[in-house]
């Protein structure tokens, strides 16, 4: 619970978010005029994060940025993002596209986790016997799930001896971003050149506003609609207020669960519950939205404004996650992180390429490039790749990708619990990690049998 008990002065809070805002503006300028960033469609928040890292205490020391405070912001912004997503109340599709996407994501998590563990096993049995093996389990967190989850879980393992666990998670996530955008754009360029895209066209189809990140001409998109009278309250303030109410309820919910675990003698799971507070926050948001739907009050929530608010949280989350990277931690774990990132990226590429050409009936390349970017970066990374190959969203790929992320979160809950097995059941012994490795392989087999069974049932229905 230390990320809730953290002592923070109001001055630090204001200055930190002011500097993060400055970095975002500078990142926007770099994207607007930097041909390199335009070529690879590097998002402004990623540029901003590395600007903050360079100007901060880790490199030039010009701006007093605290990695601990950045980690604190990442932890809370993650939950706020999930709450905003849960409150949108958009209809979820469980068709073949989203379900196959979600099962592909789960397969990627497992493969990344297995590779991370194998790499760490090699280091432990050879040149680095004191390496914390949980580092390998952060690979699917940083690559597949994003910086918020990687930092939160890594921080929760620090009490088991994982020095700099949260910062190690942020480092892996940052490497994942680089792979998502730079390798992703290479993949897209090659696919278009080889005619693999369903919509036949060259990269000239990428509009100037996509390149520069600034919409200078043409019709502007609508961000959202006002659901309350301006004379009564600013509608956006109401949307943010609802998010605040849900987060407060989420805090109480986690606190009650943690107290219950302590009373029944399962205090060892308390840190895990606080680490997964973003999942509980999402569940509370979904319940809250369901209540609004049942009472016919959901008209008060505007999906567009909630989406924009979630995007706001994500931008600051990514800036904070990169600014908070500790170069000291990077130096401590650079070898295993580098090796497992390389092998993890390669394995993710071949796994998803194999899956996407067999699990889907259409738009194979578009689906592959999108999910590869998401499984090494974030959902935003995947949407960027879709906009390159399908700027008008004429294909169902973007919609399937968004829906599948929610499905994968729930189907992946057993995996999230599984990653904590060595700490919670084996006192962080090496045996616990081998057990986890074996269970992940079994989970993968069950997942693929289930997947094939679904495909067989659908095939039989088409034949009847």
pLDDT (tens digit per residue) in 241-254? 999 999 999 999 99
315 and 370 belong to one structural domain: yes
431 and 445 belong to one structural domain: yes
Domain count within the chain: 2
| The predicted structure's pLDDT at residue 393 | 61
Residue 2 has pLDDT above 70, yes or no: no
45 and 184 belong to one structural domain: no
Could you tell me if residue 224 is inside a domain?
no
Residue 459 has pLDDT above 50, yes or no: no
| The predicted structure's pLDDT at residue 197 | 73
58 and 135 belong to one structural domain: no
pLDDT (tens digit per residue) in 280-307? 888 899 899 999 999 999 999 998 899 8
298 and 280 belong to one structural domain: yes
Task: Report the mean per-residue pLDDT for the chain.
Answer: 85
State which residues form the domain around 134.
68-206+234-463
pTM for this predicted structure: 0.80
271 compared with 168, residue with greater pLDDT: 168
Percent of the chain past pLDDT 90, that is, above it, reads: 38
Residue 313 has pLDDT above 80, yes or no: yes
| The predicted structure's pLDDT at residue 185 | 82
358 and 378 belong to one structural domain: yes
Residue 187 has pLDDT above 70, yes or no: yes
Residue 200 has pLDDT above 50, yes or no: no
355 and 270 belong to one structural domain: yes
185 and 243 belong to one structural domain: yes
3-class DSSP string for the chain? CHHHHCCCCHHHHHHHHHHHHHHHHHHHHHHHHCHHHHHCCCCHHHHHHHHHHHHCCCCCCCCCCCHHHHHHHHHHHHHHHHHHHHHHCCCCCCCHHHHHHHHHHHHHHHHHHHHHHHHHHHHHHCCCCCCCCHHHHHHHHHHHHCHHHHHHHHHHCHHHCCCCHHHHHHHHHHHHHHHHHHHHHHHHHHHHHCCCCCCCCCHHHCCHHHHHCCCCCCCCCCCCCCCCCCCCCCHHHHHHHHHHHHHHHHHHHHHHHHHHHHHCCCHHHHHHHHHCHHHHHHHHHHHHHHHHHHCCCHHHCCHHHHHHHHHHHHHHHHHHHHHCCCHHHHHHHHHHHHHHHHHHHHHHHHHHHHHHHHHCCCCHHHHHHHHHHHHHCCHHHHHHHHHHHCCCCCCCHHHHHHHHHHHHHHHCHHHHHHCCHHHHHCCCCHHHHHHHHHHHHHHHHHHHHHHHHHHHHHHHHHHC
43 and 178 belong to one structural domain: no
pLDDT (tens digit per residue) in 207-232? 677 778 888 777 777 888 889 999 89
Q: What average pLDDT does the segment 153-164 reach?
A: 88
375 and 310 belong to one structural domain: yes
pLDDT (tens digit per residue) in 400-428? 776 777 677 777 778 878 888 898 888 88
332 and 452 belong to one structural domain: yes
| The predicted structure's pLDDT at residue 462 | 54
49 and 97 belong to one structural domain: no
């Amino acid at each position: 619970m230390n990320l809730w008990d953290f002592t923070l002065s109001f001055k630090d809070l204001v200055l930190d978010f002011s500097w993060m805002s400055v970095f975002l503006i500078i990142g926007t300028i770099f994207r607007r005029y930097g041909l390199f960033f335009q070529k690879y469609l590097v998002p402004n928040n990623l540029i901003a994060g590395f600007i903050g890292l360079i100007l901060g205490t880790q490199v030039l020391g010009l701006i007093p940025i605290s990695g601990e405070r950045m980690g604190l912001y990442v932890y809370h912004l993650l939950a706020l993002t999930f709450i905003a997503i849960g409150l949108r109340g958009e209809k979820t599709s469980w068709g073949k596209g989203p379900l196959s996407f979600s099962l592909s994501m789960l397969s990627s998590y497992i493969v990344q986790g297995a590779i991370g563990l194998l790499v760490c096993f090699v280091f432990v049995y050879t040149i680095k016997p004191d390496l914390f093996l949980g580092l390998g389990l952060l690979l699917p967190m940083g690559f597949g799930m994003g910086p918020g989850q990687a930092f939160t879980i890594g921080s929760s393992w620090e009490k088991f001896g994982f020095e700099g666990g949260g910062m190690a998670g942020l480092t892996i996530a940052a490497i994942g971003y680089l792979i998502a955008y730079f390798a992703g754009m290479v993949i897209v360029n090659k696919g278009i050149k080889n005619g693999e895209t369903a919509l036949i066209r060259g990269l000239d189809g990428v509009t100037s506003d996509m390149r520069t990140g600034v919409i200078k001409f043409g019709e502007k998109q609508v961000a959202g609609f006002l659901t309350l009278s301006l004379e009564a309250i600013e509608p956006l303030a109401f949307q943010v207020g609802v998010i605040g109410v849900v987060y407060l309820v989420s805090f109480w919910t986690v606190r009650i669960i943690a107290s219950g675990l302590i009373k029944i003698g399962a205090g060892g799971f308390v840190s895990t519950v606080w680490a997964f507070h973003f999942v509980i926050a999402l569940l509370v948001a979904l319940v809250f939205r369901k209540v609004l739907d049942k009472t016919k009050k959901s008209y008060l929530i505007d999906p567009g404004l909630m989406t924009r608010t979630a995007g706001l949280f994500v931008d600051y989350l990514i800036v904070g996650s990169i600014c908070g990277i500790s170069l000291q931690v990077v130096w401590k774990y650079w070898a295993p992180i580098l090796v497992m990132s390389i092998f993890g990226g390669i394995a993710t590429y071949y796994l998803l390429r194999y899956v996407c050409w067999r699990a889907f009936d259409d738009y194979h390349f578009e689906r592959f490039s999108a999910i590869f970017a998401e499984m090494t970066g974030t959902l935003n990374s995947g949407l960027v790749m879709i906009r390159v190959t399908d700027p008008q969203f004429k294909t169902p790929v973007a919609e399937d990708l968004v829906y599948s992320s929610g499905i994968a979160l729930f189907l992946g809950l057993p995996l999230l619990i599984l990653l904590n097995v060595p700490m919670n059941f084996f006192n962080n012994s090496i045996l616990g990690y081998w057990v986890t490795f074996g269970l992940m392989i079994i989970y993968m087999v069950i997942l693929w049998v289930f997947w094939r069974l679904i495909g067989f049932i659908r095939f039989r229905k088409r034949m009847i």
